[in-house]
């Protein structure tokens, strides 16, 4: 199956690279502000590495698809998209809605950010608690949990929970 997908992956990688090149050439030509951002003398010394790393990652993705690797093309594709977004960020910063609204003008009040952070922390904690409680504690599921969660602290906490009867109270950790 992977051998059949490699030609398609190469064709799609070529299409992505063509569109990235079109956008990378069109934006500086269409907007003088962005051309000045990328090609003025002090800025070009700071930003030259973005297109260079993008070309290297594209080359690595192409070669890894040809060589039959599986993980490297996936990681290189993620890196390509992150580099593309980094290029757009460099082009437009600090404007979030170019060219009229800066990122600080579009941001919500700090109290709103704190409220959203608290909600995010609660939902992350509850989703991870649901994940850990659904793993189960048989020997087979313990091995599966060890594969999924590769940190020794979480695994030892699960083992302690299995071995400690509910009636036994645990000592509070000293930090």
pLDDT at 22: 94
With 0-12 / 13-18 / 19 or more C-beta atoms within 10 angstroms meaning exposed / middle / buried, residue 71 is: exposed
Give CA–CA dist 137/134, Å, rounded. 9
Residue among 16, 18, 23, 17 nearest 90 (CA): 23
Residues 94-150: pLDDT tens digits? 777 767 778 777 777 888 888 888 888 888 776 666 666 655 555 556 666 556 655
Stated as kind and residue range, the H or E segment containing 150 is none
Average pLDDT over every residue of 144-161: 57
CA distances, 109 to each of 43, 83, 102, 121, 122 (Å): 32, 30, 15, 19, 21
Q: Is the dihedral of CA 49, 51, 53, 59 positive or negative?
A: negative
Give CA–CA dist 175/161, Å, rounded. 20
> In the predicted model, is pLDDT for residue 153 greater than 70?
no
Q: Is the pTM of this model over 0.85?
A: no
Residues 12-26: pLDDT tens digits? 999 999 999 999 999
Higher pLDDT pick, 159 / 107: 107
Count of H-run helices and E-run strands, the chain: 9, 2
pLDDT at 26: 92
Average pLDDT over every residue of 30-59: 90
Residue 27 structure tokens: 């934006």
Neighbouring residues of 34: CB distance < 8 A, sequence distance ≥ 6: 27, 28, 91, 92
Domain ranges of the chain: 2-103, 110-163
β-pairing verdict for 101-102 and 95-97: antiparallel
Residues 66-105: pLDDT tens digits? 888 888 999 999 999 999 999 988 888 877 776 777 877 7
pLDDT bin (cut points 50, 70, 90) of residue 51 is: very high
pLDDT bin (cut points 50, 70, 90) of residue 54 is: very high
pLDDT at 114: 85
Buried b (16+ CB within 10 A) or exposed e, 115-134: eeeeeeeeeeeeeeeeeeee
With 0-12 / 13-18 / 19 or more C-beta atoms within 10 angstroms meaning exposed / middle / buried, residue 52 is: exposed
């Amino acid at each position: 199956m992977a051998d059949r997908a490699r030609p398609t992956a190469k064709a799609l990688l070529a299409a992505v690279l063509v569109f990235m090149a079109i956008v990378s050439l069109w934006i500086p030509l269409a907007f003088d502000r962005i051309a000045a951002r990328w090609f003025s003398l002090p800025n070009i010394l700071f930003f030259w590495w973005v297109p260079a790393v993008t070309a290297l990652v594209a080359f690595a993705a192409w070669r890894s698809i040809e060589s039959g690797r599986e993980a490297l093309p996936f990681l290189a594709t993620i890196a390509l998209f992150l580099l593309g977004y980094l290029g757009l960020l460099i082009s437009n910063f600090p404007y979030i809605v170019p060219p009229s609204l800066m990122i600080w003008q579009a941001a919500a009040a700090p109290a709103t950010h704190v409220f959203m952070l608290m909600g995010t922390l609660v939902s992350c904690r509850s989703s991870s608690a649901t994940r850990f409680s659904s793993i189960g504690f048989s020997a087979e599921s313990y091995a599966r949990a060890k594969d999924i969660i590769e940190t020794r602290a979480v695994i030892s906490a699960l083992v302690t929970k299995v071995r400690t009867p509910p009636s036994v109270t645990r000592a509070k950790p000293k930090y």
